[in-house]
């Protein structure tokens, strides 16, 4: 029997290491796998038996002797027995493409990766021209998973078409939105998939150097990525003359330093260059003048990871998932006040209500859900009337909400939406790069004005002022930081006016 206990951040944060120690004390050396993303079951102990992989969770070190006894007799008699892991509904109902391998084995084991179809996409790509690879990505309909949802193939085409002796592939792993962790799970559970995607991107556009810009808040991912890169170099999947092809691609992880704004691609490039993470004006696009002024592909972790399966299975297979212009799968991250939080990979089109009620099973507190914030700190707070919106980029944009990176944060009925609106402005104060006035100063004034409204100080006029201020920030800021901070603020006022002591949303506010 083989035992698996994850080395994922959340599993570790819930005591996975002490479970591993308890197993070792019983003479068992567990495989430290990645997480399946069913975080309410972590630490999830899996056991490969003659009849398949069964699970127990959430386990503590104290449960180990009992589980070992049960395994000798009747495993299903144990209270924490979950049955075959892949038949757990939460997981079985998903459409796992990018996260197909997550949790199956040791994320750093190259043999395991290859046994599960790893590097098949790369070996196909090594036999193709750059244009052929770019065409595959275009045909797949893949759009950037970082938040802006720009078609990846078009970005790649621009970089391919731009002349330059040196080009770069930059992976944006500065996953700063609250409620998101899909990039982290991918990097911790299946780092070679990201590496493979980046090498393919390099082959496609003619780049020989890649950087993963990783946030410093992810120490576990940092450690695992560095080991994975070292092993990929040793096995010649990175470096010079990759697999005897004559092609070169070098990869390095660079650590951020706690600035949310560096998730914005131009600020990220500045930071990678060793500067303050100040947002650049566009144009020029990074695809034309990016890192160190050279043509650069900047893509999110999940975008680059998806590339390997697109190349392996073909563009059409990927295109078959989803609806409208949102193709493929979306990594939904269910977080906040939720009973069953975790990672849910599904084709686009599932509704928010299905995710929160069917997968999430309601709030952790057991109280009614009041508001849902989708897409991170710059996303709108959605009231119940909007929960039947299908999760697709265009459907969300139509109601002034955004899917962003797919994070869903659930709040119960104790949430104070005026306090949340104030926090949105406060966060912008802390994290603004300071380049443009509407964001840098507007956010400070925003906090003050919301304080006055809540204190019932000249409320009607201050509401008009806040509305004006939101307009100025939305239309006058260089990037989404200042430009979208008004979204959570306005939605809080519009849909939860009682928290601002308003009679109705229309009073003194358009």
Partner 1 sequence: MNSTLEKTTGISGLVAKYKDLPGGLLPLLHAIQTEIGYLPDSAVPTIATGLNLSRAEVHGVISFYHDFKTHPVGRNTVQICRAEACQAMGSRRLEAHAKQTLGINYGETTADGNISLEPVYCLGNCACSPSIRINDDIYARVDTERFDDLMSGLLIEEGASK
Contact 331/303 with Cβ under 8 angstroms?
no
Among 147, 277, 438, 442, binds partner 1 (CB under 8 A): 277
Residue 275 near partner 1 by CB under 8 A: yes
Distance CA 133, CA 139 (A): 10
Contact 98/186 with Cβ under 8 angstroms?
yes
Among 23, 34, 42, 478, binds partner 1 (CB under 8 A): 42
Contact 499/417 with Cβ under 8 angstroms?
yes
Among 2, 62, 93, 216, binds partner 1 (CB under 8 A): 216
Distance CA 315, CA 188 (A): 26
Q: Taking the complex as a whole, how short is the minimal distance between the CB of residue 9 and partner 1, in angstroms?
A: 6
Residue 410 near partner 1 by CB under 8 A: yes
Residue 297 near partner 1 by CB under 8 A: no
Write out the H or E segment, with its range, that includes residue 254. Answer: strand 250-255
Q: Taking the complex as a whole, how short is the minimal distance between the CB of residue 180 and partner 1, in angstroms?
A: 7
Residue 338 near partner 1 by CB under 8 A: yes
CA distances from 357 to 37, 38, 381, 401 (A): 17, 15, 17, 20
Among 218, 348, 487, 509, binds partner 1 (CB under 8 A): 218
Q: 59 or 334, CB closer to partner 1?
A: 334
Contact 143/214 with Cβ under 8 angstroms?
no
What does the buried/exposed string (b/e) look like for 417-430 if buried means 16 or more CB atoms within 10 Å of the residue's CB? bbebbbbbbbbbbe
- The dihedral through the CA atoms of 192, 198, 202, 204 has a sign that is positive
Tokens in use for 97? Answer: 């493409």
- What are residue 363's phi and psi, to 5 degrees? -80, 160
Residue 12 near partner 1 by CB under 8 A: yes
Site size toward partner 1, by CB under 8 A: 61
Contact range with partner 1 by CB under 8 A, out of 74-82, 274-282, 385-393, 499-507: 274-282
Write out the H or E segment, with its range, that includes residue 313. Answer: helix 301-313
Among 333, 386, 462, 477, binds partner 1 (CB under 8 A): 333
Q: Taking the complex as a whole, how short is the minimal distance between the CB of residue 335 and partner 1, in angstroms?
A: 4
Residue 335 near partner 1 by CB under 8 A: yes
Among 67, 68, 409, 418, binds partner 1 (CB under 8 A): 409
Q: Taking the complex as a whole, how short is the minimal distance between the CB of residue 339 and partner 1, in angstroms?
A: 10
Q: Taking the complex as a whole, how short is the minimal distance between the CB of residue 257 and partner 1, in angstroms?
A: 4
Contact 136/307 with Cβ under 8 angstroms?
no
Residue 258 near partner 1 by CB under 8 A: yes
Within 427-446, the residues that bind partner 1 by CB under 8 A are: 427, 430-431, 433
Distance CA 174, CA 405 (A): 11
Within 143-172, the residues that bind partner 1 by CB under 8 A are: none
- What are residue 236's phi and psi, to 5 degrees? 65, 30
Write out the H or E segment, with its range, that includes residue 182. Answer: helix 182-189
Within 448-507, the residues that bind partner 1 by CB under 8 A are: none
Residues of the shown chain interacting with partner 1 in the complex, contacts defined by CB under 8 A: 9-10, 12-14, 39-40, 42, 175-181, 183-184, 216-220, 254-260, 271-277, 292, 333-338, 341-342, 364, 373, 377, 407, 409-412, 415, 419-420, 423, 427, 430-431, 433
């Amino acid at each position: 029997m083989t035992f698996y206990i994850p080395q994922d951040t959340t599993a570790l944060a819930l005591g996975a290491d002490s479970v591993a120690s308890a197993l070792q004390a019983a003479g068992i050396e567990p495989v430290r796998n990645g997480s399946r993303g069913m975080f309410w079951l972590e630490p999830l102990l899996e056991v490969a038996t003659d009849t398949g992989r069964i699970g127990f969770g959430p386990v503590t070190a104290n449960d180990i002797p009992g589980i070992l006894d049960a395994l000798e007799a009747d495993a299903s008699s144990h209270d924490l027995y979950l049955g075959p892991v892949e038949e757990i509904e939460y997981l079985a109902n998903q459409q796992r493409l990018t996260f197909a391998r997550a949790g199956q084995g040791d994320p750093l084991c190259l043999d395991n990766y290859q046994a599960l179809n790893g590097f098949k996409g790369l070996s196909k790509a090594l036999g193709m021209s750059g244009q052929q690879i770019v065409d595959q990505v275009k045909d797949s309909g893949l759009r950037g998973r970082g938040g802006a949802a720009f078609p990846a193939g078009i970005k790649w085409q621009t970089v391919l078409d731009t002349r330059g002796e040196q080009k770069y592939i930059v992976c944006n792993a500065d996953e700063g939105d609250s409620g998101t962790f899909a990039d982290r799970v991918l990097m911790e559970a299946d780092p070679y998939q990201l590496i493979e995607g980046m090498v393919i991107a390099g082959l496609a556009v003619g780049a020989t150097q890649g950087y993963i810009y990783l946030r410093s808040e992810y120490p576990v991912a940092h450690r695992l990525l560095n080991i994975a890169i070292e092993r990929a170099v040793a096995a010649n999947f990175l470096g010079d003359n990759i697999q005897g092809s004559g092609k070169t691609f070098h990869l390095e992880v660079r650590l951020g330093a706690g600035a949310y704004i560096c998730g914005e691609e131009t600020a990220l490039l500045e930071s990678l260059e060793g500067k303050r993470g100040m947002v650049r004006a566009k144009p020029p696009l990074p695809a034309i003048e990016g890192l160190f002024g050279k043509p650069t592909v900047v893509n999110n972790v999940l975008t680059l990871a998806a590339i390997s399966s697109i190349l392996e299975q073909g563009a059409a297979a990927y295109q078959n998932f989803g609806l409208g212009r949102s193709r493929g799968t979306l990594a939904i991250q269910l977080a906040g006040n939720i009973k069953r939080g975790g990672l849910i990979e599904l084709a686009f089109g599932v509704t928010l209500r299905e995710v929160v009620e069917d997968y999430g099973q309601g709030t952790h507190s057991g109280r009614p859900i009041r508001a849902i914030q989708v897409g991170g700190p710059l996303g709108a707070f959605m009231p119940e009337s909007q929960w039947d919106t299908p999760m697709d980029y265009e459907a969300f944009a139509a109601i002034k909400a955004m899917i962003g990176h797919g994070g869903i944060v659930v709040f119960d009925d104790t949430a104070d939406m005026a306090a949340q609106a104030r926090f949105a402005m406060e966060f912008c104060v802390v994290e603004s790069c300071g380049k443009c006035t509407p964001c840098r100063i507007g956010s400070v004034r925003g906090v003050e004005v919301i304080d006055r409204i809540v204190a019932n100080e000249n409320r009607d006029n201050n509401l008009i002022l806040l509305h004006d201020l939101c307009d100025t920030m939305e239309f006058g800021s260089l990037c989404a930081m200042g430009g979208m901070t008004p979204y959570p603020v306005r939605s809080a006022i519009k849909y939860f006016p009682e928290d601002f002591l308003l009679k109705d949303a229309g009073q003194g506010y358009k």
